[in-house]
Chain A
Amino acid sequence: NAGVMQNPRHLVRRRGQEARLRCSPMKGHSHVYWYRQLPEEGLKFMVYLQKENIIDESGMPKERFSAEFPKEGPSILRIQQVVRGDSAAYFCASSPPGQAKETQYFGPGTRLLVL
Chain B
Amino acid sequence: AQTVTQSQPEMSVQEAETVTLSCTYDTSENNYYLFWYKQPPSRQMILVIRQEAYKQQNATENRFSVNFQKAAKSFSLKISDSQLGDTAMYFCAYTTDSWGKLQFGAGTQVVVTP
Residues of A within 8 A of B (CB): 31, 33, 35, 41-45, 48, 55-56, 59, 89, 91, 93, 95, 100-106, 108-109, 111
Contact = CB atoms under 8 A, between A and B. Distances in A.
Given A42-B104, A42-B107, A44-B104, A106 B98 contact: no
The 5 A-B residue pairs whose C-beta atoms are closest, nearest first, are: A106-B45, A42-B104, A100-B100, A100-B99, A43-B104
B84 interface: no
Tell me the interface secondary structure of chain A in the complex: strand
A101 B99 contact: yes
Contacts, number: 67
B99 A42 contact: no
Interface string B75-112: 00000000000000001010101111111111100000
A78 B47 CA distance: 27
The size class of the interface chain B forms with chain A is 20 to 34
Given A42-B91, A106-B44, A100 B98 contact: yes
A24 to B, nearest CB: 16
A67 to B, nearest CB: 14
A95 to B, nearest CB: 6
Interface of B: 4, 33, 37, 42-47, 50, 52, 91, 93, 95, 97-107
20 contacts: A31-B100, A41-B106, A42-B105, A48-B99, A48-B100, A48-B101, A56-B101, A93-B102, A100-B99, A100-B100, A101-B95, A102-B50, A103-B47, A104-B100, A104-B102, A105-B47, A108-B42, A108-B44, A109-B44, A111-B43
A67 B33 CA distance: 26
B43 A89 contact: yes
A91 B102 CA distance: 12
Given A48-B99, A95-B100, A100-B100, A43 B44 contact: no
